[in-house]
Every structure is written in structure tokens, then in C-alpha cells.
Amino acid sequence: MPELPAAYRTAPFDEHCAPRRLLRLFNGKWTTMVLHTLHLLGGSSRPGHLLRSIPDLSKKMMTQTLRELEQAGLIARTVQQIMPPVVEYSLTEMGQKFIEPIEMLYHWGIEHADLLDRVTAAQHAAKAAMKDQPESITEEC
């Protein structure tokens, strides 16, 4: 793996640096899943098929995510002027480039599911411990 430039080796990262801009693109809960699913469906899909392909994704959140991805230039929306009109979303050239790191992360997650299980268990334990602690009482002066 190539070494990062010196400017990226110390924190905090500048607000406009490439790593932060990249992470902002993946900020939405459903962003990577929508891109990954479009990729698995051959790069394009109609909204209904996409919605049925992603468990727990609501129509509202799918619409919001698709709009954000379209605004970012990662997907394109095409409307076929037939009756009734047919809408299809497809990965743009830039979207296809973003698939590469997403797929790497998804494969890493599959290969390291045991680590993810431990992290999830630790998070649940920490949440449970927080619920069991009494709220701190501050004395008024």
C-alpha cells in the first residue's frame, strides 16, 4: 500500500482534504448498500427492484439516497418516455470507480465477520452498562 502524503499522517484532517470529502460521500446509512446492490444487479435497476433487493430499506430512504447519489454524480436517473414512464438508475463512470473500495470493504467484512461480531457484542455490552448506571446528580450551590 502506498504511503500517505505527510499532510494526511497527522490529525485533524483539513475539512476539505480528500479523505474527509470521500467519507462524506459515504455518510448516509444506505449509500454503500444502494451502490453495492446496483453493482450486483449489473450496474442498473428500476426503483422497485432495488427496493425489494435491500431488506429494511424504506421507500422514503431509498428515494433520499438515490437523490443524494445522483447529485454526487455517482448514479444517473433515466426516464423512458413510454406509458407508464419507466425510471431506471444506473452507476455512472465515477460510480463504478467508487464500487472498487466498497467491494473491498464488503469482502473484508465477510472475511472478518468474527471480529465484527466481537465489536458488536462490545458495543451492546457498553450500552447495557450505561443503562444500568444511575444518572449523575449534581448538587446545586
Contact 66, 89 (CB under 8 A): yes
What CATH number corresponds to the domain at position 46?
Answer: 1.10.10.10
In a domain, 138, yes or no: no
User: Which string of DSSP letters, residue by residue, matches 41-79?
Assistant: TTTEE-HHHHHHHSTT--HHHHHHHHHHHHHTTSEEEEE
In a domain, 84, yes or no: yes
Dist. CA 44–CA 54, nearest whole Å: 14
pTM of the predicted model as reported, rounded to 2 decimal places: 0.77
In a domain, 136, yes or no: no
Lowest-confidence range among 17-21, 53-57, 61-65, 125-129? 17-21
Give yes or no for residue 81 having a pLDDT over 70: yes
User: CB under 8 Å to 32, separation ≥6 — which residues?
Assistant: 26, 102, 105, 106
- C-alpha distances in Å from residue 69, one per residue of 32, 89, 113: 10, 10, 28
In this predicted model, what pLDDT tens digit does every residue of 35-64 receive, in sequence order?
999 999 999 999 999 999 999 999 999 999
